[in-house]
Amino acid sequence: MNILPGSYVTHAKLPELGNGEVLSAQDGNVCIRFASGNRSFKVDLVMRHLQVTSEAPAPAPQKSAKRARKAPAVKAAAKAASKA
């Protein structure tokens, strides 16, 4: 079985990973994007555990946006006004 980039697979020994999308397969390694993040495996060790599927992986969870800090110029302007 050839693992081609863009194909969807499941890992029989690690079902908690769910479905994954093959990102690359080169130099004896395969990189797969699972919902929990990217994983790299040695091709010769993982081939017997991968099964091709037609289901795409779940989208990766989005990180929450950080709140913007107040501009430091506002604090400096407030200090200058209080000294006057």
User: Do 34 and 20 touch, CB atoms closer than 8 A?
Assistant: yes
User: Phi/psi at 3 (nearest 5 deg)?
Assistant: -95, 115
SS3 34: strand
**For a pLDDT cut of 90, what percent of the chain falls above it?**
43
Q: How confident is the model over 33-48, as a mean pLDDT? A: 91
Reference 29, options 52, 46, 15, 51; nearest CA is 46
For the chain, which domains are there? 1-59 (2.30.30.140)
Q: Which helix (H) or strand (E) holds 80?
A: helix 72-83
Indicate whether 63 pLDDT > 70.
no
User: Does the predicted model carry a pTM greater than 0.85?
Assistant: no
CA distance 53 to 9: 5
